[in-house]
A and B are shown apart, each in its own frame.
Chain A
Amino acid sequence: MTSEPLIELRNVTRSFSIKRGTNIKAVDDVSITIDEGEIVCLVGESGCGKTTTGKIIAGLLKPSSGQVLFHGQEITRIAAANQRQYRLGVQMIHQDPYASLNPSRTVYEQLAAPLQRHVFTSGKSSLVRDRAFELLELVDLTPANDFLDKYPHQLSGGQRQRVSIARALTVTPSFIVADEAVSMVDVSIRISLLNTLLRLKEKMGLAVLFITHDLALAKFFAWEGRIGVMYLGRLVEVAPARQLVAAPQHPYTKVLLSAIPEADPDTTRKKQHIQLRSMDIPSMVHLPTGCSFHPLCHLFAGETCEKIVPELSHFKDGSAVACHPAAQAHQADQAAKGG
């Protein structure tokens, strides 16, 4: 490796205490790196820890153990001056554009506040307005002059989310965490919003962590990037996006992909669904021993799965899987190809 990754999580765990002194690990021993300009989608069902992971990366939550590195420096240890660099370098776009913008401030005011605080700390206000104008054009809110003096309630959901993106860009970050950023936007305009983000990524070299429950959307957005799948707090599979969808390795990923209906009556009605061993989805509170997916798993291979928590095994093709049988299968496959 010539350069260090932009963001690195090393064995990050975050626990929360819930009633009666019970602790749950919302994020359990997650390690992942994200390079500059890279897109990574984190997918999983509700409660799998994807949002908590996003918040830890954005610095909004501290890990209970493990390390978060930004440009190779551990973020809890870096000096105050660099802390600021990290805070500005990593920005977040939230799910709900109806809640994340201040309703009593105009679009211009939302953008001007961070610009005045961090970018144009002295100087003329005309510069601030010019920059706000530029930012709106960047996120395709044109003609920008029509939008600068509007209040959030005068905008549609999609337009508000564009304002949120523009606001995140005020401090020229190198990394954006977008948590379900399009799930509250009308279906017909989601793709144009994602295309705007993709264009910005190209233009500004942004890296994006996109958190979603929709695998098809993840494949679209991370076309050139990677998808990570989380299950009950653990990262169970990471692979280049198209590869993950076409040739999933972890049984949980396989189950998810087989369960998703498709917008084509022929395909979706002929689709084979993998049957789970049980329909009792385990919870964080009563986490199964060993691999936490083993009670449901169709690849269940006995004692190893019940007792030993599988680590993420990394392979040459850029994929990684945390599953005993799947990792073995992959290695056997590689050996067969090599020999």
Chain B
Amino acid sequence: MTNSPSNAPEATLSIRNLSISYRAARGMVRAVRSINLEVKPGEALALIGESGSGKTTLGLSMVRLLPNTAQISAGEIIYRRNGKETNVLSLNRHQLRLFRWKECAMVFQAALNAFNPVLRISEQFADTSRAHGYLQGKALEERAHELLRMVRLEPERVWQAYPHELSGGMRQRVLIALSLLLEPQLLILDEPTTALDILTQRNIMDVLKDLRTRLNFSLIFISHDLALAAELADRVATMYAGEIVEQSDVYTAFKNPVHPYTIGLINAVPTLTAHKDNVSSIPGSPPDLINLPTGCKFHPRCLAADAICTQQEPKPEQAGDNDHLVACWHWKTAAKSLAERR
């Protein structure tokens, strides 16, 4: 926009030094540890990593939906719109209600559970709209139908349907439309295509690409599917044991990853074009989040690890240009030494 203040575009969301733990019988589960992350206006960020790496916990914290057993031990989450800053973690109940959906909306993994089963789709829209003091009646219907068409659904067909009458892919698209109802500036998608069939998955991806060019919101999507990240993301952040171990633009992430875990993860996923011999697993298994290893949390599985890795935890540092950050003692040599060991 031309009339906006002349400073450089400020991040829509800034997460600083965030740590989250869950109380469990055996002790504290350290799900997210000292995370720093920024999402710029209009940017799509992919959070990739395996189950238990803290992706969903991080996503839930952004809309303050963490369960009661979770405890945010440090850090802050700053949200910005039109130069106004909001400290997400200090919002009271009323402010939170205004923040969610209108500023930041989240679409969850299980699309059927997100609906009220006894309400028609039209009523789900009306319900949300009423709760936020937004459009009603004819105006709402027009806005909702426009959104439904944007997600490639025929409004006439789904408007009066109950959630159970729609297929998984249709429900997922209705949810995306519903999440955009109040024109949020940030959309968080948790595993948006997991459990969907290939053709449905393709459809959702195309819908998301299309929506982004039309509506220009920021997008954070959480996924263990690397291919989805390669196709949709501008930036990729790799999580391991509650930490972001590497973040960069999407091309660097896939073409020139420097963290041994990112490298390993990319090599562990067979692709349609890869030769069988170029695919290999990462040895060992993900750590116990209650009893984390000393030093670098990845060292027990890392082929490039040496003494320093077992003792001291590496801090994220700049690797080359393009905002490429990596937390590894040996990032300069890791790619080469891993290739030699394979």
Interface residues, chain A, with chain B CB atoms under 8 Å away: 45-46, 156, 158-159, 186-193, 195, 213, 215-217, 219-220, 223, 245, 255-257, 259-269, 273, 276, 279, 281
With A188-B264, A264-B254 known as contacts, the answer to whether A281 contacts B50 (CB < 8 A) is no
Residues of chain A with a CB closer than 8 A to B279's CB: 191, 220
Are B281 and A188 in contact, CB atoms less than 8 angstroms apart? yes
Contact in complex: A269, B231 (CB < 8 Å) = yes
Q: CA of A255 to CA of B201 in the docked complex: distance in angstroms? A: 13
The total of chain B residues at the interface (CB under 8 A) is 43
Return the 3 tightest CB-CB contacts between A and B, nearest first. A192-B281, A261-B227, A259-B202
Assess whether B201 is in contact with A259, with CB atoms less than 8 Å apart.
yes
Known: A156-B285, A279-B203, A281-B199. A261 touches B230 (CB 8 A): yes
The tally of CB-CB contacts under 8 A between chains A and B is: 116
Residues of B contacting A223 with CB < 8 Å?
A: 276
Given contacts A186-B285, A259-B198, A263-B266, contact A268 B152 (CB under 8 A): no
Q: B230, A191: Cβ atoms under 8 Å?
A: no
Interface assignment of B269: CB less than 8 Å from any CB of chain A: yes
CB nearest neighbor in A for B193? A261
* A290 smallest CB distance to B (angstroms): 20
Assess A264 versus B50: contact at CB under 8 Å? Given A191-B279, A273-B202. no
Closest residue of chain A to B206 (Cβ to Cβ) is: A273
| Extra pairs beyond A260-B272, A265-B251 (18, CB < 8 Å) | A45-B197, A188-B281, A190-B268, A191-B279, A195-B281, A215-B272, A216-B272, A220-B274, A256-B198, A260-B227, A261-B201, A262-B227, A262-B271, A263-B227, A265-B230, A265-B255, A269-B231, A279-B152
Known contacts A263-B254, A265-B250, A268-B230; A191 and B280 CB within 8 A of each other: yes
Q: In the bound complex, what is the Cα–Cα distance between A14 and B250 (angstroms)?
A: 46
List the B side residues contacting A191 at CB < 8 Å: 268, 270, 279-281
Q: Which residues of B contact A261 (CB under 8 A)?
A: 201-202, 205, 225, 227-228, 230-231
Q: How far is the CA of A276 from the CA of B198 in the complex (A)?
A: 13
Contact A263 B276 (CB under 8 A): no
Closest to B264 in A: A188
Assuming the contacts A215-B272, A268-B230, asked whether A259 and B199 have C-beta atoms less than 8 A apart, the reply is: yes
Query: What are the residues of chain A within 8 A of B264 when measuring CB–CB?
Result: 188
Q: Does B167 contact A (CB under 8 A)?
A: yes
A238 to B125, CA, bound (A): 46
Q: Given A189-B281, A260-B198: A267 and B273 within 8 A (CB)?
A: yes
Cβ of B51 < 8 Å from any Cβ of A?
yes
Best-surrounded residue of A263, A266, A273 (most CB of chain B within 10 A): A263
Residues from 138 to 162 in B contacting A, C-beta threshold 8 Å = 152
The CA of A218 and the CA of B72, in the complex, are separated in Å by 42
